[in-house]
Structure formats: C-alpha cells, structure tokens
Structure 1
Amino acid sequence: MPLLDFAAIAEQLPGTWKSTRLGQVGPAHIKVLRMDAQAYEEETHDYNEGLLVISGHLLLSIADQAIRVEAGQMYLVEAGIAHGVLAGSQGTLVIIDV
C-alpha cells in the first residue's frame, strides 16, 4: 500500500458519509470518509469495526450512551453491537473492518 494522506483523500471525496476503500492489510479493509456534522443512522455489522479519527471528532452513540472520539483516538465497535453517529461529528474518519 502506498503512502496515504487520509485527510487529503477524504477532502477529495464527492460527498460526506460515503466511504471509499483504500486497500486491505491481511483480513482488514481500510476505508476513509469525511464527516459533515450530520447524524448517521444506527447500524450493526457481523465484523469488528475500528473507527479512527484523523481530524476533528466523532460523536458515537452506543446503547444510549454518547462517546466522544477525538483526533488520534480509535473506538473499536465489536461485531453485533448497534452504533450510530450523533450530529456534530466532523473531520476525517478512517474505518478498519476486521
């Protein structure tokens, strides 16, 4: 995988909350997206999902609890756990699906 500038790639994406797959490392898929302060509906996956904030912050909703994830931090959502994004999240997010 070449050198990746996540913030620059996210800035060039045509829209927000639409991830683009950048590559794969072992079984992990690496994706990036741009957050725009709008909420994103709750979802559940059958795989673990790492949510790594590159810039800005992510306001994550899990089991009626709000969790703030800052730039440089990652939250690991385990498979089968429902999670959504609260309004106010903004910046660049890298998603690692395992």
Structure 2
Amino acid sequence: MPLIQLDDLAAALPSAWKSTVLGQVGPARIKVLRMDEQAYEAETHDYNEGLLVVSGQLMLQVQGEAGTVVVEPGQMYLALAGIPHAVLPGSHGTLVIVDV
C-alpha cells in the first residue's frame, strides 16, 4: 500500500463520523475518520478499539472513568471490549481507529 496522508484522506470523506477501512494487519482493522465537533452517542463493542488522534482532539466519556478523557495528537486511548464510551461535543480532527 502506498504512503497514506491521513488528514487528507479524512478531509476527503463524504461525511464526518463515517470511517473508511485503510487495511488490515493480522486480525486488526485500521480505519480513519473525520471528527466534526459533534457528539457521537455511546457505543460498546465486543472487541478492543484503539482510538489514535492524528490531529485535533478527542474527548470521551467512558464508563468507569472519572471525568472526561482527553486524547491529544499522538496519543491513543484503548477502549476495552464491553465498556461503553461516547464522544463528547467539541471533538475534532482526524482519528485512526484500530479494531483488535
């Protein structure tokens, strides 16, 4: 696969919060999406989900965590399987998701 410009790819997506799969490494799917300041309702998965901020900021409400979890560029939050997590308003930029 060629070099991927994540911010450019996310900006070109037709809508925010709709990811596109970049590829797969072993069992892990790698996706990218654009965040647009809007909240995204709580969801729970039966797999771990790595949330890697490329640019901008991701703000999460996670069951069992006190307060807001803020993820900055270059940081990744690991949302564990079975734990509800929601994106709070104001989250923006490019997010890479690794489903494992």
1:21 alignment partner in structure 2: 21
Amino acid at match of 2:12: Q
TM-score, normalization by structure 1: 0.97
1:85 alignment partner in structure 2: 87
- Of the three residues 48, 71, 74, the one matched with 1:72 is 74
**CA displacement at 1:2 relative to structure 2:** 2.4
Between structures 1 and 2, the one with greater strand share: 1
**CA displacement at 1:4 relative to structure 2:** 1.1
Q: Count matched residues.
A: 98
2:12 alignment partner in structure 1: 12
2:68 aligns to what SS in structure 1?
strand
What is the percent sequence identity of the aligned residues? 66
2:41 alignment partner in structure 1: 41
Q: What is the aligned-residue RMSD (CA, Å)? A: 0.9
**CA displacement at 1:9 relative to structure 2:** 0.4
Equivalents in 2 of 1:30, 1:89: separation in Å?
20
Equivalents in 1 of 2:83, 2:4: separation in Å?
29
TM-score, normalization by structure 2: 0.95
Q: Which consecutive aligned stretches of 4+ in structure 1 deviate over 6 angstroms post-superposition?
A: none
Q: Does 1:58 align with 2:58?
A: yes
Amino acid at match of 1:31: K
1:7 aligns to what SS in structure 2?
helix
Where in structure 1 are there 5+ consecutive unaligned residues? none
Amino acid at match of 1:33: L
Equivalents in 2 of 1:96, 1:5: separation in Å?
17
**CA displacement at 1:65 relative to structure 2:** 3.0
